[in-house]
Chain A
Amino acid sequence: MTHARQQIREAVVSLLTGLTTTGANVYDTRLYSHNALPSLTVFADAESINNEVSTKTSQMRNLTIRVEARVKGTSGAEDIVDTICAEVDAAIYDDTTLDGRALDTNLEATVIEYSVEQDQPIALAILTFNVEYRVAPGAPTVLL
């Protein structure tokens, strides 16, 4: 059985695959550089345990999911990256339980960066989501 974190990360990848702008260019924790654009890359960055609402039989966790959107083009990169952000936002909010794996998922922040260091302008948007989920104490593969 896989860690709940992996199950959640993979659920996000599944949820975001096939969106209008990024299509199949969706990657799970891609560490190498990208050449198929526009694209989305999903990372599970950090996790904390909320002991205030945990019990002996149920442990509440908050997982930070980072979705990176990459765009490159001669014009309108800023518009395309915003369109991708809207598609990601809508897709996640359409299923905040991530196919039954999470209690809730909320967008917490978006950061956008630009670059003209290459042959065409680049835009990178980083969307940070907080995913609340629950597991059995000592059994992080068992989602409750």
Chain B
Amino acid sequence: MGFTEDFGDFFVDEEFGITATFSGSNVVGIFEETFIVVHGIEGLHPVFTCALADVSGAAHGDAITIAGGSYKVVSVQKDGTGIVALVLEDQS
């Protein structure tokens, strides 16, 4: 019998999770902005990680809103277990 993971336990907005708006729906995931220096420029690398099923149609160029900030999806990185990391471009 197949094993079905419940990703709802991983992405909880009362804990480390945050609710984003993607394609008109609320999606709970983990939002990270890692500090990074590239070509001598300081900046952040924003990534939203969530259950793939919650953003199954995600594609490059899609809009997503997180904590009032507007972002564009520039990379869809599926991990093969049902989780996806959306790499984002800040639209501000």
Contact = CB atoms under 8 A, between A and B. Distances in A.
Interface size class of A (residues with CB under 8 A): 10 to 19
Given A70-B39, A70-B40, A117 B45 contact: yes
A20 B62 CA distance: 34
A105 to B, nearest CB: 24
Given A74-B90, A74-B91, A119 B43 contact: yes
A13 interface: no
A2 interface: no
Given A74-B89, A74-B90, A120-B90, A115 B42 contact: no
B46 A119 contact: yes
Contacts of B40: 33-34, 41, 68, 70, 124
A35 B88 CA distance: 20
Interface residues of B, number: 18
B67 interface: no
A121 to B, nearest CB: 8
Interface in B4-56: 33, 36-46
A124 B39 contact: yes
Contacts of A34: 40-42
B42 to A, nearest CB: 5
Contacts of A72: 41, 43
A119 B33 contact: yes
Interface string A116-137: 1111111010000000000000
A33 B91 CA distance: 23
9 contacts: A74-B89, A113-B39, A115-B38, A116-B89, A117-B36, A117-B38, A118-B43, A119-B89, A122-B43
Enumerate the 6 nearest inter-chain pairs by beta-carbon distance, A residue then B residue, closest first.
A118-B43, A119-B90, A124-B39, A33-B42, A35-B42, A33-B37
